[in-house]
Amino acid sequence: MMAGIAVSTNINSDNAEFLCHADETLLDVLRDRLGLMGAKEGCGTGDCGACSIILDDRLVCSCLVLGAEAEGGRIETVEGMAQGDQLHPLQQKFLEHAALQCGICTPGFLIAAKDLLAKNPDPTEEEIRFGLAGNLCRCTGYDKIVRAVQDAAGVMRGADHEF
Amino acid sequence: MNFDPSHSKRSFSSVGTRPIRPDGVDKVTGRARYGADFNMPGQLVGRILRSPHAHANIRKIDTSKAAQLPGVKAVLTAADLPDLTDGDAAMYDILDNCMARKKALYDGHAVAAVAAIDARTAKQALKLIEVEYELLPHVTDVDQAFAPDAPLINDTIFTTGVDPKPDRPSNVLMRSQFGHGDVDAGMASADFVVERTFKTEQTHQGYIEPHACVASVSSDGTADLWVCTQGHFVYRQHCAQLLGMDASKLRVTSSEIGGGFGGKTHVWAEPVALALSRKVGRPVKLVMTRDEVFRASGPTSATSIDVKIGALKDGTIIAADATLRYSCGPYAGAWAEIGAMTAFACYKLENVRTVGYEVLVNRPKTAAYRAPSAPMAAFAVESAIDELAKKVGMNPIDFRIRNAAQEGTKASYGPVYGPIGIGPTLEAVKNHPHMKAPLGKNQGRGMACGFWFNFGGQTCTDLNIGKDGTVSLAVGTVDVGGSRASLSLVAAEELGIDYSQVRTVIADTSSLGYNDMTDGSRGTFSSSMATISAARNAIKILRERAAQMWDIPVEDVTWEKGHAVAKGETHGNLPKLSLKEIAAASGTTGGPIAGHSEIVADGAGVSFATHICDIEVDPETGATKVLRYTVVQDAGKAVHPTYVEGQYQGGAAQGIGWALNEEYIYGKDGRLQNAGFLDYRIPVCSDLPMIDTQILEIPNPNHPYGVRGVGETSIVPPLAAVANAVSNAVGVRMLHIPMSPPRILAALDA
Ligand code: FES
Ligand code: FES
C-alpha cells in the first residue's frame, strides 16, 4: 500500500493539513477526512456540480480534483459562506425565494453562484442560466434559483463591502 | 378518518403565508445531513457486485478469494438472505431484486456484496468474486417482450385477467380493464376518428442524491438504520421482514432526503447493508454510485400505447379507447393498470374503455416516478385529442372545455367526481396572456391536461406543548420538499400562535406510530389532517386546564387566537389565559399537554392541471428550445404557496426533460449504455425558461382546509404539451418520446 501524501491547504480561511492517498479525490478528503460534508457527491464524474467548491478562485468539481492537488491551495466551500450567524446574501435569498426543495444541490449552486457573481456582478438571466449550467437540480425547475441569484446580485452590488 | 365538513375552515391567518422553511438554514450552510453524511464509529464500507448480463442463470459464485483479501470483513450472497417471505410474492420480488437468487434478470442486478475497512478494499474485493453465468436470451423492449415468441423472463407467469387462462407462460403478467358504455357502438357513430400508436422510453427520477444508508446490527438483535428514504416506516417493515426481525427491534431514522420522486419508496440495498452488518457485527455504510443508481434502482416504465377517439360534428367525444402496454422490469407491477385508470380521467365520456398490460422485460424493477404511469397515458391521449380537435375544426382548448369532466361526472376509472378543477384550469389557460402571445417562425404552441388521484393513507402525529408554551410537532411522513414548513403553519393556524413557535421534526420509527410513505402527493394532505386533529385534541386539553385554573365548567371555555377565553355572563370578567400561561401551570393541573392523532386520511381530492408550452424547433438539426411554459393547477388550498409553485415548476421541468431528452438506451447485448448524467441528460438551467405558475384553489371538501395533494400532477401534462407544441411547430404529429433531435429529424423525413 502507498503511504499517505501530506497536504497543506487553507480551507475557508483556516489552515488545514491532511494525509491522503495519491488517487483520493478532494471531495473524499473534504467529506471523509475533514468532516466537511457540505459538498455532496451526486455523480463522481463531473456531471452534476453537487461537489462544487472554489479552489484558488476557480470553480471546480471537487470530485474531479485530487486531494494532493490542493497542496498550497486556497479552498472555499459552502461551510465558509456565512459569517457567524450572518448568512451570505445568496444563502439568504435562496431561503427567501425557496430556491431549494430537497436541498442536495444547494451547496453546489451557492458556490457556483458565488463564483459567477464574483466574475460578473450584474449578470443577465441568460448569463445566470449558462453560468449555472454545470449544476443539476432535479427539484425546482431552476426558476426560483435564477430569481434568488438575481436578487442576491442586486443586494451584493448595493452593499458597501465584499462578500 | 372521514372528516366532518362542518369543521372546515376557509379563512386563515398562517396558512397561505410564505415563511422561510424551518430546515432552510441548515440546507444553505451545509449542516443538513443527508443519506451519505452520517458515519458511525467502527463503520465498514459496503459495496455490491452487479451482473453485467441482462439475463443469465447464476451457476456458481466463488467468494473465497475476496474473503481472503486483507481488510475484507464479510462477503455476502443470496445464501445469506434466506427466503423468509412466507408466500408473500411482492416481498419475494423485493428480496430477489436486492440479491439475485438463481438468475440475474437485468444488467445491474445485485449478485454479491462485501464489507471492508475502506472503499478501495471493498472495490478490489468485488473484482475477486468469481461468478459463473449461463447466458439466457434477453428482451429489453416492451413491444418485443409483448410478442408471443419473445424470450421468456419468468416461466411461471401466465397472464391474469384474461379468459380463458392462457395455456402457456408469457411476459405479459396481467391484463386490466376500465370503462363504461358501449365503445364499439359509440365509435361507429363518430363523425371523426383519430387512431394512433404512441411510444415512450424509460426514464429515471434522477434525484441528485444516490441511495445511501448506514446499518448497524447489535449482537442482541436490535438494529439501527440511517437512510435516505421517502418512507422510513415502510423501509423498516421491508427490512425487518426480509431479515426475520421484529419491526420494533429495528429503528429507522430518515435522513434529509436529496430527492426521491418515487424512487426512494422501495428498498434496494438497505437489507444488504443490514445483513452485512449482522454478519460482521460492525456498522456498514453503503452508498450507491451514480452508475448503480441508473442500473439498479427503479426507473419508470417504457410504454407503447394505442389510442382511438371518436367525436361527433358538434365536438362531443362519443367514444374513447386505449390499449396500454407498460414495462415493469423483470418483476410484477401494476403500472399499466394505473395508466389505464388515468388515461381518460380528464373527460366526461359516455363510452370509454382502457385496457392495460403489464409487460416483463430485462430491465431494472420499475418504481414509481411522480404520478407514476400517468404522464405516458396523458401523452398518448392528449396528443390524440389535439389531433381530433383539428379534425372537428375546433381549437384544442374549446374542444377540451366542451368535453371536460365536471362535478358528478362518472370517471373513466369508476368513481363519480366531487368538485374538481379541470374546467377551471382550462378556463384559466384560455384566458391566460400566454395563449395570446405571438409565435415566430419554426415555433409552436401546445397545451395539455393532466390528472392524478392523490392519496391519503395511514398517518400519525404527536403535538407536544413544552412548559414554555412552544410546540414540537413530530410527524412520520418524510419531508421531501418543504412539508415541515407547511405543517408548522397548520399547527400555528389551529392553535392560534405564531409560526416561529412551532418546530416540526420527522420522528424515527421508534418514536411514533406507523406512517405511510411520502408518495401519492399525500405528505401535506394527510399530515396536515393529522396535525389539525392533534392540535384540536391538544386544544381540548388546554381548555380543560384553563377551566380547572379558573374553576369553571369546561363548556364555558373557548379557544380563540392562542388563548382560553371564559364565556358566559358569570365568567365574563376573567382575563383570558394564553397558551404559554396554561403550559406553565401544567405541572400542577395534570401534567404535560399534548395532542395526538392516529388516522387513515381518507378523502384525498383528485387533482387536475393544464399546461401551455411554446417551443422552437430547428428544422436543420432537430434541436429544440422551450421558449415559454405555464402551469395552471388546482391545489385545493395552497398551505405554503411558494412550495406549491415549486412543485408545479419541478414537475414541469422533469416532464420537459422526459419529453425532449431523457431515455434509457440499451444495446443489443441488453446492457444499459448511458448510466450517467453525461449521457442521460436531465434539463440544466440553460435548457429552460422561467416556468410561470397559477394556483387555483377549489377546496377538497374532505379536508378541513380544502387541501389536495400538489406534488405529482405537474408532471402529467408536459409530455403531451411539449409534443403538441413540437407537432404544431413542425407540422408533423410526434408519436415517440423523447423527441430528441434524431427523432425529430426522422419524423420530418418520414
Ligand atoms: S459529484 Fe462532482 S460533479 Fe457530480
Ligand atoms: S433542490 Fe433537490 S436537487 Fe435541487
Q: Is the beta carbon of A104 within 6 A of some atom in ligand 1?
A: no
| Residue among B205, B208, B255, B290 whose CB has most ligand 2 atoms within 8 A, to mutate | B208
**A13 within domain boundaries:** yes
Residue B4: pLDDT band (50, 70, 90) is low
| Cell numbers representing residue B722 in the block | 411539449
Question: What is residue B530's predicted lDDT score, i.e. its pLDDT?
Answer: 94
Is B208 in contact with A102 (Cβ distance < 8 A)?
yes
Which of residues A76, A108, A128 is at a domain's end? A76
The pLDDT value recorded for residue A1 is 47
Chain B residues within 8 A of A81 when measuring between CB atoms: 29
**What is the distance between the alpha carbons of residues B732 and B514, in angstroms, rounded to a whole number?**
51
B68 vs B42, B367, B606, CA distance in Å?
20, 37, 57
Question: Angle B368-B266-B78 (CA atoms, 0-180°, nearest 5)?
Answer: 130
Strand order in the sheet with A58-61: A14-20, A5-11, A74-76, A52-55, A58-61
In chain B, residues with a C-beta closer than 8 Å to the C-beta of A38 are: 29-31
Q: Tens digit of pLDDT for each residue in B292-319?
A: 999 999 999 999 999 999 999 999 999 9
Q: Which residue has the higher pLDDT, B523 or B516?
A: B516
CATH number (domain holding residue A145): 1.10.150.120
Ligand nearest to the CA of A112: 1
B303-454+605-749: CATH topology is Aldehyde Oxidoreductase; domain 4 (3.30.365)
Q: Both A17 and A52 in a single domain?
A: yes
User: Pairing state of beta strands B303-311 and B563-566?
Assistant: unpaired
- Residues A72, A95: one domain? no
Whether A63 is in the pocket of ligand 1, judged by its Cβ within 6 Å, is: yes
- The pLDDT assigned to A162 comes to 83
Query: Distance (Å, rounded) from C-alpha B513 to C-alpha B458?
Result: 9
Q: Which residue of A has its CA nearest to B211?
A: A42
Average pLDDT over residues B654-683: 98
- Read off the amino acid at residue B676: G
Residues A48 and A102 in one domain: no
Q: Which of B160, B210, B692 is nearest to A144 (CA)?
A: B692
pLDDT score for B374: 98
Instruction: Give the nearest ligand 2 atom to A101 CA.
Output: 1
Q: Sort out which chain B residues have CB atoms less than 8 A from A112's CB and list them.
A: none
- Position B150 scores a pLDDT of 98
Q: Would the CB atoms of B682 and A138 count as touching at under 8 Å? A: yes
Say yes or no: A65 contacts chain B, CB-CB below 8 A: no
Chain B residues 179-208 with a CB less than 8 Å from chain A: 205-208
List the one residue out of B219, B207, B200, B364 whose CA is nearest residue B281.
B219
Sheet holding B250-254, edge to edge: B72-76, B110-116, B44-50, B284-287, B212-217, B223-227, B250-254
CB B9 within 8 A of CB B479: no
Distance B236 CA to ligand 1 centre (A): 30
Considering chain B, what percentage of its residues have pLDDT values greater than 90? 94
Distance CA B125, CA B135 (A): 24
User: What average pLDDT does range B169-195 have in this prediction?
Assistant: 98
On whether both A102 and A148 belong to a single domain, the answer is yes
Does residue A163 sit within a domain? no
Equal fold, B5-32+456-600 vs B44-136+210-257+264-296: no
Identity of the amino acid at B701: P
Q: Are residues A58 and A105 in the same domain?
A: no
Whether the Cβ atoms of residue A61 and residue A28 lie closer than 8 Å to each other: no
H-type alpha helices, B503-613: 523-550, 579-584, 586-589
Decide: B229 and B235 in contact? Cβ < 8 Å: yes
The pLDDT, as a whole number, for residue B5 is 62
Residue A118, ligand 2, Cβ within 6 A? no
C-alpha cell at A68: 494532493
Are residues B750 and B675 in contact, defined by beta-carbon separation less than 8 angstroms?
no
- Which one of A49, A76, A103 terminates a domain? A76
Structural domain of residue A115, as residue ranges?
89-158
A163 class by beta-carbon count within 10 Å (0-12 exposed, 13-18 middle, 19+ buried)? middle
Out of 3.30.200.20, 3.40.50.9100, 3.40.47.10, 3.90.1170.50, the CATH code matching B44-136+210-257+264-296 is 3.90.1170.50
pLDDT above 60 for B2? no
Q: For residue B263, how many other CB atoms are within 10 A of its CB?
A: 23
Q: For residue B378, what is the enclosing H or E element? A: helix B374-392
Distance (Å) from the alpha carbon of A36 to chain B's nearest alpha carbon:
8
Residues in A 130-159 with any Cβ partner in B closer than 8 A:
130, 132-147
Cα–Cα distance measured from residue A125 to residue A154, given in angstroms and rounded to the nearest whole number: 13
Ligand 2 touching residue A140 (CB < 6 A): yes
Distance CA B431, CA B426 (A): 9
pTM across the whole model: 0.97
Cα A64 to ligand 1 centroid, rounded to whole Å = 8
Which tens digit of pLDDT belongs to each residue from B457-505? 999 999 999 999 999 999 999 999 889 999 999 999 999 999 999 999 9
Does the distance separating the beta carbons of A141 and B688 come in below 8 Å?
yes
CA B332, CA B234: separation in Å to the nearest integer?
19
In a domain, A29, yes or no: yes
| B614: three-class secondary structure by DSSP | strand
pLDDT band at B327 (very low <50, low <70, confident <90, very high): very high
Q: Which residues of A touch B207 (CB under 8 A)?
A: 102, 104, 138
Q: Is A49 in the pocket of ligand 1 (CB under 6 A)?
A: yes
Q: How confident is the model at residue B8 (pLDDT cuts 50, 70, 90)?
A: confident
A67 at B interface, C-beta within 8 A: no
Report chain B residues whose CB lies below 8 A from the CB of A89.
Answer: none
Last residue of a domain, one of A26, A45, A76: A76
Q: Is A138 in the pocket of ligand 2 (CB under 6 A)?
A: yes
> Could you report the per-residue pLDDT of B70-92, keeping only the tens digit for each?
999 999 999 999 999 999 999 99
Residues A61 and A13 in one domain: yes
The answer to whether residues B378 and B449 touch, using CB atoms and an 8 Å cutoff, is yes
CB contact under 8 A, A98 and B482: yes
The rounded distance, in Å, linking the Cα atoms of A40 and A43 is: 9
Distances (CA, A) of B110 to B48, B154, B188: 6, 18, 52
Query: Taking CA atoms, what residue in B is nearest to A80?
Result: B29
* Tens digits of residue pLDDT in A102-154: 999 999 999 999 999 999 999 999 999 999 999 999 999 999 999 999 999 99
pLDDT digits (tens, 9 = 90+) for B103-142: 999 999 999 999 999 999 999 999 999 999 999 999 999 9
Which three cell numbers, joined as nine digits, stand for A128?
A: 445566470
* Contact present, B170 and B183 (Cβ < 8 Å): no
Report d(CA B130, CA B128) in Å as an integer: 6
Residue B333's pLDDT band (cuts 50, 70, 90): very high
- Chain B contact present for A93, CB below 8 A: no
The number of distinct structural domains making up chain A is 2
Interface membership of B652 toward A (CB under 8 Å): yes
User: Taking the domains of chain B in order of start, what are their residue ranges?
Assistant: 5-32+456-600, 44-136+210-257+264-296, 303-454+605-749
Q: Does the pLDDT at position A2 exceed 60?
A: no
Does A62 contact B at CB distance below 8 Å? no
Mean pLDDT of B19-39: 97
Residues near B575 by Cβ (< 8 Å), separated by ≥ 6?
A: none
Cβ–Cβ < 8 Å for A150, A92: no
Ligand 1 near A61 CB (within 6 A): yes
In whole angstroms, what separates CA A138 from the centre of its chain?
18
* Coil vs helix vs strand at B649: helix
Q: What is the pLDDT of residue B569?
A: 75
**Adjacent-strand bridge partners of B56:** B104, B135
Strands B317-327 and B352-359: parallel
| Whether residue A27 is found in the same domain as residue A64 | yes
Helix (H, G, I), strand (E, B) or coil at B656: helix
Average pLDDT on B440-458 reads 95
Mean pLDDT within B395-415:
97
- Whether ligand 1 lies within 6 angstroms of the CB of A48 is answered as yes
Instruction: Indicate whether A101 belongs to any domain.
Output: yes
Ligand number with the minimum distance to the CA of A135: 1
Q: How far is the CA of A28 from the centre of ligand 2 (A)?
A: 21
Class of domain B5-32+456-600: alpha beta
List, as one string, the DSSP characters of B671-686.
-BS--STTTS----GG
Cell numbers at residue B331, please? 418483476
Residue A83 domain flag = no
Same domain, A55 and A101: no
Region B517-522: mean pLDDT is 83
Tell whether A151 and A110 lie within a shared domain: yes
Please tell me if residue A111 touches chain B, with a CB cutoff of 8 Å: no
Q: For A84, name the nearest residue in chain B, comparing CA atoms only.
A: B29
Band (pLDDT 50/70/90 cuts) for residue B750 is confident
| pLDDT tens digits, B212-244 | 999 999 999 999 999 999 999 999 999 999 999
Q: Is residue A81 part of a domain?
A: no
Taking one residue from A and the other from B, the number of pairs with CB-CB distance under 8 angstroms is 181
Map grid coordinates 478562485 to a residue.
Answer: A57
A51 lines ligand 1 (CB under 6 A): yes
**Does any ligand 2 atom lie closer than 6 A to the CB of residue A103?**
yes
Q: Select the highest-mean-pLDDT range: B602-606, B660-664, B702-706.
A: B660-664
